[in-house]
Chain A
Amino acid sequence: MAVKKIEKGVMVTLLILGGILMMVPFIWMLGSSFKPENEFTVIPPTIIPHHPTWNNYSRLFTEMDFFVYLKNTLIIVICSFVGLFLNALAGYAFAKFHFPGKNGFFYLILATMMIPGQVTMIPTYLIINKMGLVNTMAGIVLPGLVGAFGIFLFRQFMATIPTDLIEAARLDGSGEFRIFFTLILPVVKPVFAVQAILTFIGAWNSFLWPLIIANDEKLYTLSVGLSLLKGQYGTEFGLQMAGAAFMVVPIIIIFTFFQKHIIEGYTISGMK
């Protein structure tokens, strides 16, 4: 029994040590974001600032256009939720309808999962350019709106809904769209919630494609704005850390709140 106790002690110590190492960048970021500029050259570096200040955060909105970046990021988030609905709609059709070409379309969608981003990046830019959508919100949002993985997950879950249930609703005279919104979506709520959180995180963090498509600062997202800040205020660590914290903290709060569902969602999708 004593051996067991020692083993547990070693395991817990290792777990905590590793966890602290993983946390270092977060602690360093938060601490530094409240430091006044003159505290950054102090040796030894302070983890908790001696003279904490909100100044760095307010400068994000006065000297940089973080309000505009935030607004653009939220627009992208909302659009990505529309994409989530389109995924669910397609997943529903593949799960519960029989129509000519069904398997062909489904394999076509699955095939897009294997294509690496680097291959499609340049031609997609050329297509967006040809459509005249460079430097527009539509150009930023459209290419990533739907995703094969999301469609696949929705299909897997919707396949478990009894067909009798849908037939009964049809006999009651419900339209197909009505069935989808009032019957199917409520049933797949757990999957939908997980997908919604992951979609939110993805949209909030979107960086490369907005960077390629947006030439105008009016269309910058938070990530693109932050990389601009990194370039322009390279030596002002306080401002940079505040910008980083402004991006990271909301995601961490949302994640901590919903983490149980997300982690279980992965477990479920892994088993299916």
Chain B
Amino acid sequence: MREFAKQWNKNKYPYLFIAPAVLLLVVFSIVPIIIALVISFTNMDLIGLADYSNIRGVGFDNYINIFKDPVFLKALFNTLIYVVVGVPLVVICAMAVALLLNYGTSWLFKTFRVIYYMPSITNIVAVAVVWGYLYNGSYGLFNYILSWFGLPAQQWLQDPALAKYSLILLALWKAIGLNMIIFLAALQGIPRSYYEAAEIDGATGWKKLRYITIPLLSFATFFVTITTLIGWIQFFEEPFVMTKGGPLNATMSLALFIYNNGFKLSNFGYAASGSFVLFVIIILATIVQFAVRRKEVEY
């Protein structure tokens, strides 16, 4: 006992300092993941929430049923499209913008750095309100611009074939800023002497880009790809505020499916099993990314 008191007196300050943070993270991050795992094997719903004695274990039923659920399968397919189209778009556009911004150092480049960054700090509901109006079928700006070129008006968010891509465009606009900053930081770390040496050897602008810049950006590209990939697998806010997953579940994503089952339909157990499927997909995607990276040549 005395030993304990001595230990406590010696270390009481660091424990006091970390206590609030550790306590909050345990209660709202560590405990929840355990609860999620447990309830994913139960039929937890509103009745179960009212009285815990009504909760029944259902084994792997939730996990089996979810792969028979047409809405879930649709959400899985949509999320695949979001990833396949969205990830390369974001990585390429962010890199292109960073290259443009890195070209000069005058006030013009500094101003545009702020402009390209602005969408990423803009509130998602405000974005939904403004883009909803831009996409409006009758009074929206986008259809008006199409009419300049004699193109027919589009139902951007109501057409099941188009709605997914309308959301991708919006998410791209929002995602460029942060990723471009990461590329910009990496670009500024490339020594000028590399380019000077290449110029002496007679390398042109394109050759310098292809054989110096892009290879030296490989770590930044890897980082941006992996964070963007995880972000698109969890794609949620844009469909949630713009389309609610409609029309006909055409924009439904996995994360939105989980939200709807949890908070709209109160099928907490079923939603929890969906969230673990999502978690496993994220882990697998990350492992694949690291495996691909290891095969690449190091510079």
List residues of A whose CB falls within 8 A of some B CB. 7-8, 11-12, 14-16, 18-19, 22-26, 28-29, 32, 40-41, 43-45, 86-87, 89-90, 92-94, 97, 99-100, 102, 105, 108-109, 111-112, 115-127, 129, 142-146, 148, 151, 176, 180, 201, 204-205, 207-208, 212, 222-224, 226-227, 229-230, 237, 240-241, 243-245, 247-248, 251-252, 255-256, 259, 263, 266-267, 270-271
Determine the chain B residues whose CB is within 8 A of the CB of A25 once the complex forms.
119, 127, 130-131, 134, 173
Closest residue on chain A to residue B38 by CB atoms: A123
Closest residue on chain A to residue B15 by CB atoms: A99
Contact between A86 and B134, CB atoms less than 8 A apart = no
Q: Using A28-B141, A99-B15 as known contacts, say yes or no to A244 and B129 having CB atoms under 8 A apart.
A: yes
Q: Using A118-B258, A122-B36 as known contacts, say yes or no to A230 and B129 having CB atoms under 8 A apart.
A: yes
Contact between A123 and B20, CB atoms less than 8 A apart = no
Q: Which of B242-283 contact A (CB under 8 A)?
A: 254-255, 258-259, 262-263, 268, 271-272, 275-276, 278-279, 282
Contact between B18 and A94, CB atoms less than 8 A apart = yes
User: When A and B form their complex, which 7 residue pairs have the shortest distance between CB atoms, in order from nearest?
Assistant: A123-B32, A93-B17, A97-B14, A123-B35, A90-B21, A244-B126, A112-B29
Q: Using A99-B14, A176-B13 as known contacts, say yes or no to A123 and B123 having CB atoms under 8 A apart.
A: no
- Compute the total of residue contacts between A and B using a CB distance below 8 Å: 263
B121 within 8 A of A: yes
Q: Using A25-B173, A151-B21 as known contacts, say yes or no to A125 and B263 having CB atoms under 8 A apart.
A: yes
B193 within 8 A of A: no
Q: Using A105-B18, A109-B25, A263-B181 as known contacts, say yes or no to A100 and B133 having CB atoms under 8 A apart.
A: no
Determine the chain B residues whose CB is within 8 A of the CB of A237 once the complex forms.
133, 136, 139
Q: Using A19-B115, A207-B125 as known contacts, say yes or no to A100 and B7 having CB atoms under 8 A apart.
A: yes
List residues of B whose CB falls within 8 A of some A CB. 7, 11, 13-15, 17-18, 20-22, 24-33, 35-36, 39, 49, 97, 100-101, 103-104, 108-109, 112-119, 121-134, 136, 139, 141, 144, 173, 176, 178, 181-182, 184-186, 188-189, 205, 230, 234, 236-237, 240-241, 254-255, 258-259, 262-263, 268, 271-272, 275-276, 278-279, 282
Q: How far is the CA of A42 from the CA of B109 in the complex (A)?
A: 36
Determine the chain A residues whose CB is within 8 A of the CB of B97 once the complex forms.
18
A–B complex contacts, Cβ < 8 Å, 23 sampled: A12-B108, A22-B119, A24-B134, A25-B173, A89-B18, A90-B17, A92-B17, A97-B11, A97-B13, A99-B15, A105-B22, A111-B30, A116-B279, A118-B236, A119-B33, A119-B276, A119-B279, A126-B268, A144-B28, A256-B114, A259-B114, A267-B184, A270-B185
Determine the chain A residues whose CB is within 8 A of the CB of B30 once the complex forms.
108, 111-112
Contact between A226 and B129, CB atoms less than 8 A apart = yes
Contact between B125 and A223, CB atoms less than 8 A apart = yes
Say which residue of B123, B178, B255 sits within 8 Å of A118 (CB atoms).
B255
Tell me the smallest distance from the CB of A172 to a CB of chain B, in Å: 17
For the residues of B in contact with A, the DSSP-based class is helix
Contact between A123 and B134, CB atoms less than 8 A apart = no
Contact between A226 and B125, CB atoms less than 8 A apart = yes
Contact between B18 and A251, CB atoms less than 8 A apart = no
Q: How far is the CA of A240 from the CA of B131 in the complex (A)?
A: 11
Contact between A240 and B33, CB atoms less than 8 A apart = no
Contact between A121 and B262, CB atoms less than 8 A apart = yes
Contact between B129 and A116, CB atoms less than 8 A apart = no
Closest residue on chain A to residue B52 by CB atoms: A130
- Knowing that A11-B100, A18-B116, A90-B17 touch, tell me 19 more A-B residue pairs with CB under 8 angstroms: A15-B101, A19-B112, A22-B118, A43-B144, A86-B24, A89-B21, A97-B13, A99-B15, A105-B18, A122-B262, A127-B27, A146-B24, A207-B125, A240-B133, A244-B130, A245-B126, A266-B185, A267-B181, A270-B185
Say which residue of A92, A94, A126, A226 sits within 8 Å of B35 (CB atoms).
A126
Q: How far is the CA of A103 from the CA of B24 in the complex (A)?
A: 18
Determine the chain A residues whose CB is within 8 A of the CB of B24 once the complex forms.
86, 142-143, 145-146
Closest residue on chain B to residue A264 by CB atoms: B185
Say which residue of A15, A109, A212, A263 sits within 8 Å of B22 (CB atoms).
A109
Determine the chain B residues whose CB is within 8 A of the CB of A124 once the complex forms.
28, 32
Q: How far is the CA of A145 from the CA of B24 in the complex (A)?
A: 8
Determine the chain A residues whose CB is within 8 A of the CB of B109 once the complex forms.
15
Contact between B21 and A109, CB atoms less than 8 A apart = yes
Contact between A248 and B126, CB atoms less than 8 A apart = yes
Q: How far is the CA of A29 from the CA of B49 in the complex (A)?
A: 43
Q: Using A108-B30, A116-B279, A204-B123 as known contacts, say yes or no to A122 and B272 having CB atoms under 8 A apart.
A: yes
Q: How far is the CA of A87 from the CA of B26 in the complex (A)?
A: 14
Q: How far is the CA of A36 from the CA of B30 in the complex (A)?
A: 51
Q: Using A100-B11, A125-B263 as known contacts, say yes or no to A22 and B116 having CB atoms under 8 A apart.
A: yes
Determine the chain B residues whose CB is within 8 A of the CB of A212 once the complex forms.
263
Determine the chain A residues whose CB is within 8 A of the CB of B181 once the complex forms.
263, 266-267
Q: How far is the CA of A146 from the CA of B139 in the complex (A)?
A: 44
Contact between B276 and A207, CB atoms less than 8 A apart = no
Contact between A24 and B123, CB atoms less than 8 A apart = no
Determine the chain B residues whose CB is within 8 A of the CB of A18 once the complex forms.
97, 100, 116
Say which residue of B125, B182, B186, B272 sits within 8 Å of A123 (CB atoms).
B272
Q: How far is the CA of A263 from the CA of B115 in the complex (A)?
A: 13
Say which residue of A32, A123, A126, A176 sits within 8 Å of B33 (CB atoms).
A123
